Structure 1
């Protein structure tokens, strides 16, 4: 293949590349494809921005609030200002992806950041919406243009050193979406505006990819790059095509057998599985009757027709004793008897049947899947077998649409509860519709799996987005509760430090515990435990306790005269600010007033007994000030014969515990720090799915949504994001010790099943 180091740049964007760029080493035919694609994408992007203003203006016109309307107008302005940079950035990214095709060293991908619920925010919810929208857009392109893109990928692999697939193809929808998002990263718009822009990108850019791929393929065919792919029903193996192109001996697709159409990696994976099966064939699927010597294997096409016949008559509920292999043997025996010719399934197809049967045996025995959904998923066995017969990459390619569909369904069903209403639940109904569509419509065109995958991803994305938003609200509420709990404990500590072990008037203890505790709570929540307001509330409490305690110091009566007016004012204002019941508050103050009056009378009697002279001018002024406050001095002039009634006294001997409405505290079992159950609790990660055995009949499936560190609470939600359970660390450890908690494996279902099958085959091989 000729290369040209002196490339004439066809547009300004190309010229912006560095002179040291390896673009000069690209084949001339590929440069032509690149420049044509860049020109088409540039025009499509211009159409996008030309129509973006009108679209956003229409959205603003239909806005339901001024804030929403302003958001759209701001987005229009931002888009106009940054349009040129976005267009240039996008084209620069496209050209850079072509430039990297002959580079052996590929830049490292950015490591994923550890995701914890504590860091979850609405930004991540926005990213979730964004990723779901892109997945759907890419799936739509792949549904209608997968073959053309596959041919283009194969031809690119024949010309460049970098191994490509459809996802890494520089003109693939996934790469173009990623490059467009990167170019738009400077836009400061809300997620709903960004989704509108992505929709416009789909409409004006991705919609024309079919034509772009067709033109690119035609250009490469004209340059002599794998012209035989024009009529190939499947994309060629890139590695083999490259070797044939370099050797100059291209073969027609009709001369290639099924093995040559498969990727070397697929051959290797499926060959390894066949080898394991051959070693343990008698143990895996013993034949019920030995085939006759003249029995002829049926073709894969005939097998597909038999499977389609079985598919149309598949039972509505797959029972545990359903054996696909037995059913197929019976059908084949009847067909052989009818035709008079003994027919059997070919060895390769038999291996496929055995593998799929073992995979579904694992799936139907898997404790992670809810029983009510196993029946639905079990009905997918025949469609999955058919797609495996058609395409052996089913076993080796994790991105295979049929495999992904099965994994996505299982992941969505992880949080399903047996008590959920199957008739009303949207997830159950969606899975049921997918199963029915496959059973009714899938004959031999695997494209239906891509269509159903795109639909299910859109559905599950919406479900997950709603769940994440509700989880966020749950987390916010729990964090608020945690703050209240910490403030409550702070208030408890302050009360116990001042009251525990002391004997005080009952009204004072009740006022502090029932009323002033709320003032302290409010101060702690609003201002914090280090604030001036908190210290002032504590000082008021200390003053109140001192004012009702007995004092013999002559200076105490002067201090009491100075203290009471301000104390009563602070108490009234604090209780009113905490919205304490005014009727209860009035009762408290009446009783408190009586206590202070008695204290003043006691001082007066003590003075008379000591035959002291009349009060000094200073004391007289204090009494006058007291009278101007809220204490009625005439009461102080009671006849000496009347003894005031002693106030009811209580001794605080138990710690004060403040409970939120509906809250109860029970003593927890204390376990050693190195207890195995506690270690299992500490190993729980946010996002883990667990199943609680509530009683013999009921189980609760829920996800650990948050660990509230200040209070040590573990918050669990159901699959809709609603809080269903909270446990302390010790409480969870006790559940683990009772074996009442089971961790659910959230790894991909198909991968777990395949791993289990391979493990079983290896064990059988070693026997």
Structure 2
């Protein structure tokens, strides 16, 4: 008997490949796999484009309006022009993950991450595309999930990075994402985009069963986990006439589930249990004449326990011990010793070990563990009824447990457990199972569909709010960059200079707003920005003392236009009109005083030659019947303007900002804490230890690159935390951040059980 030939190796590392392998060095088998897959995908993509013209032409022929017809014709033209670039882009997206299999990528966002160069609110069109992609991926996984899972497992045996079915570069999720990215340059309407996706499903995804079969066979031939036994390759309807027979299809599906899947995982687990039973795992004492009860009798005992299980289930509740007591009572009543059969006992042990992992898992919030613990008996009953529970990732009971755990990932201990809709929904699911589940597993499919509808609605709401949060942060980042540009411009012109106080105040308080608005609307390379800077330069020059007679003439020509530009700019920035008037009154006095000084230092003959020109007038509108020429009293003309020297850098505060934040501690670029920050991906869930008693769970929603801010949101999509890269590194250094594992809970639990059994076998 084989020891673990049928065990799915969840964490193997091939001897010839280590995590420290030279960058880019791939095993020969992987290179062959990559090239073979690329060739098949390229051929399938060419078939797609060859048929796209005919499909779009037919759609145009059936169009209800000229506008709709033109849209299809434009799409045909666009597709022809961009066909080669789409093919190249798609294959490049497929090739790229292979190049980084033996690298540790830093700071790369996952597939589907938001680009902060072009943020926009989630629109209805995007939701339609998202729904279509989910349906396409689900269709492939429902058909080829075992082949994809085997391929992922074999890839993990050869590379240093951890893959799952979603990150498998040949998995349907990655291929759909690659195609969508490659088609991003197409300027087509949503209706046409959905048609193109449908063509991708028909001509590329429909043949993935062959790709997976050949890929697995290639790796098996190279000696990679040959013990994994795959199901026979499904043939497309156009290839196999027998596929049209529903009875044959149902029989094949049933045979696949009841045959290979069970042999693959459950039998292998039984073998491991058999090897550790009596040594590392205590063997139960049973009378020699004890007869095993049937699975049906076991289900009746479990149903009795299910109805009388304490709520909440405490740590002291031991399912195996409770079952042993019920068996003893039943034996005493019947006068005949009874025991659980070996197969059923293996199921009990496995489910108990799975739940031991689940209830010790730090990813699950403690406030929800008590609810999930009550699912142990219903899950055990399902496993007794259907052994594919251990092997089939799409099993409704297994999926329900995974979906509950995923939804609970962002649940915080501070959330109101009495009023939280998520808590109430999970409680409703648990109670329904405890009350209604006897021996018909169909209830799990019904509850799964209901729970997915609930979480889908919550997810759409949270994604919309999350997108708005990102948009707001993008806007804040642009404003912050603009403030930095304005600060730089002001400090370049004012720092170290001695100028009249009114000029410094006007530039810092008023003209800075004009510059900020100009920078946001037009950018720093625009003529508007250069004109605003020129106005500021002219004002600074006009406020400085000049002895040259030509400077007086220049000032006479400059002032009217300067005052006009200042007034128009401040009006465009909606600056307070009263403050504007005050500033202009003081500026006019300042400029007239400058001319008075010119008269005092100029020779009489020169003064006669340059009379006061008409241009030196107030920029304010003329009063009725009064000239606009500024008249100064002798005292005002002789008054010395208040002067200040700008010795400190000007810092502009954001609205609501009280003061400048203290400088952060700087770490070396290669500091381990910074590397951990850079490895965070958008969508990662983390837990912050705020103090000894309080923890905060949140998701990294955005990394705003221009400002270096990391934005975290709660499970509803609302922003609750903002950190800098260096600030996060400090938190990592003091162990105040813990990454939450968002991999599927049941799969992690099963992986842990298999690992523990192997350790026990070697003990």
Q: CA deviation at 1:281?
A: 2.4
Give deviations 1:327-356, integer Å, cap 9, x for gaps: 111111111111111111111111110110
Q: Which has the higher contact order (CA 8 A, sep 6+)?
A: 2
State the 1:280 CA deviation.
Answer: 2.2
Query: Where do 1:513-524 residues align within 5 Å?
Result: 513-524=508-519
**Offset, 1:615:** 3.0
The 5 Å alignment of 1:26-37 reads none
What is residue 647 of structure 1 aligned with on the other side? 641
Whether 2:689 is the aligned partner of 1:699: answer: no
* SS at structure 2 position matched to 1:514: helix
1:572 Cα shift?
0.7
**Counterpart among 246, 249, 255 of residue 237 in structure 1:** 255
TM-score by length of 1: 0.69
Output the CA distance in 2 between the equivalents of 1:127 and 1:344. Answer: 55
1:117 CA displacement: 2.0
Query: Quick check: 2:327–2:339 contact (8 Å CA) kept in 1?
Result: yes
The question of 1:419 aligning with 2:414 is answered yes
Distance across 2 between alignment mates of 1:280 and 1:262: 26
Q: Secondary structure at the match of 2:483?
A: helix
Q: Please name the residue that 1:623 is paired with.
A: 613
CA distance in 2, matches of 1:396, 1:606: 99
- 1:475 alignment partner in structure 2: 470
Give the structure 1 partner of residue 24 of structure 2.
none
Of 96, 113, 117, which aligns to 2:114?
117
Match of 2:605 among 607, 612, 621: 612
Residue 710 of structure 1 aligns to a residue in which SS? coil
CA contact (8 A) 1:78 1:188 kept: no
Cα pair 1:79 1:187 within 8 Å, conserved: no
Aligned to 1:167: none
Which stretch of structure 1 is more off in the superposition, 578-587 or 110-119?
110-119
Q: Identify the match of residue 295 of structure 1 among 271, 274, 290.
A: 290
SS at match of 2:667: coil
Q: Does 1:334 align with 2:329?
A: yes
Q: Which residue of 1 aligns with 2:671?
A: 675
**Aligned equivalent of 1:360:** 355
2:712–2:719: 8 Å Cα contact kept in structure 1? Answer: yes
State the partner residue of 2:458: 463
- 1:77-476 equivalence runs, <5 A: 114-118=111-115, 122=122, 124-130=126-132, 236-238=254-256, 262-282=258-278, 286-287=282-283, 290-476=285-471
SS at match of 1:117: coil
Report how far residue 302 of structure 1 moved: 0.6
Separation in structure 1 between the aligned mates of residue 562 and residue 244 of structure 2, nearest angstrom: 97
Whether the 8 Å CA contact 1:369–1:414 is kept in 2: the answer is yes
Offset from partner CA, 1:256-291 (integer Å, 9 cap, x none):
xxxxx931342232122112212222466535x621
Give distance in 1, aligned partners of 2:133 and 2:243. 35
SS class of match (2:292)? strand
| Contact 1:129-1:465 at 8 Å conserved across structures | no
For 1:494 and 1:635, locate their aligned partners in 2 and report how far apart those are by CA, in whole Å: 35
Deviations 1:434-465 (A, max 9, x none): 11111111111111111111222222222112
Structure 1 position 712, deviation (Å): 0.8
The alignment partner of 1:612 has SS state of helix
Q: Is the 8 A contact 1:317 1:375 kept in 2?
A: yes
**Which shifted more, 110-119 or 562-571?**
110-119
Cα distance in 2 between the residues matched to 1:445 and 1:109: 45
- Aligned equivalents of 2:279 and 2:596: distance in 1? 102
User: What is the CA RMSD across the aligned residues, in angstroms?
Assistant: 4.0
Tell me what 2:226 maps to: none
C-alpha distance in structure 2 between counterparts of 1:75 and 1:551, whole Å: 71
Note closer, same or farther for the CA distance 1:587–1:757 as it changes in structure 2 (3 Å cut): same
Please give the alpha-carbon distance, in whole angstroms, between the structure 1 residues aligned to 2:474 and 2:384: 53
Aligned in 2, Cα 1:706/1:335: closer, same or farther, shift over 3 Å?
A: same
Please say if residues 332 and 344 of structure 1, whose CA atoms lie closer than 8 Å, have aligned partners that are also in contact.
yes
CA distance in 2, matches of 1:431, 1:598: 79
CA contact (8 A) 2:264 2:391 kept: no
Counterpart in the other structure of 1:506: 501
2:651 is the alignment partner of 1:661: no
Q: 1:682 to 1:389 in 2, by over 3 A?
A: same
What is the CA deviation profile of residues 523-570 of structure 1, one whole-angstrom value per residue up to 9, with x for unaligned ones? Answer: 111111011000000000001111111111111111111111111111
Residue of structure 2 in register with 1:754 after alignment? 750
Q: Could you report, residue by residue, the CA deviation over 1:285-339 in whole angstroms, capped at 9, with x for unpaired residues?
A: 535x621111111111110110111111122212122211111111111111111
* SS in structure 1 of the partner of residue 322 of structure 2: helix
Larger radius of gyration: 1
- Taking structure 1 as reference, are residues 283 and 432 closer, same or farther at Cα in structure 2, changes over 3 Å only? farther
The answer as to whether partners of 2:286 and 2:339 remain within 8 angstroms in 1 is yes
**Residues 118-144 of structure 1, C-alpha deviation per residue, up to 9 Å, x if partnerless?**
1776354333344567899999xx9xx
CA distance in 1, matches of 2:453, 2:136: 10
**Match status 1:741 vs 2:737:** yes
CA shift for structure 1 position 612: 3.3
Residues 48-96 of structure 1: CA distance to partner in whole angstroms, max 9, x if unpaired?
x9xxx9xxxxxxxxxxxxxxxxxx99899789999xx9xxxxxxxxxxx
| Corresponding residue pairs, total | 586
1:553 aligns with 2:520: no
Q: Residue 486 and residue 222 in structure 1: after superposition, are their counterparts in 2 closer, same or farther (change >3 A)?
A: closer
Asked if 1:599 is matched to 2:589, the reply is no
3-state SS, counterpart of residue 544 of structure 2? coil
**Given the superposition, is the C-alpha separation of residues 755 and 596 from structure 1 closer, same or farther in structure 2, using an over 3 Å criterion?**
same
- Deviation of residue 423 (structure 1)? 2.7
Assess, with a 3 A threshold, how the Cα gap between structure 1 residues 282 and 320 changes in structure 2: closer, same or farther: farther
The structure-2 alpha-carbon separation of the partners of 1:582 and 1:79, relative to structure 1 and needing over 3 Å to count, comes to closer
Structure 1 runs not aligned, ≥5 long: 1-48, 54-71, 86-106, 147-173, 199-218, 239-260
Q: Is the 8 A contact 1:500 1:654 kept in 2?
A: yes
Specify whether residues 679 and 723 from structure 1 end up closer, same or farther in structure 2 by C-alpha distance, changes over 3 A only. same
Note if contact 1:499-1:652 (Cα within 8 Å) is conserved in structure 2. yes
SS at match of 2:265: helix
Question: Structure 1 737/642 Cα, relative in aligned 2: closer, same or farther at 3 Å?
Answer: closer
Residue aligning to 1:712: 708
Q: CA 1:736–1:222 in structure 2 vs 1: closer, same or farther (change >3 Å)?
A: closer
Say which SS state the counterpart of residue 715 (structure 1) adopts. Answer: strand
2-structure distance, mates of 1:662, 1:443: 60
Do the aligned residues in 1 keep the contact of 2:588 with 2:618 (CA within 8 Å)? Answer: no
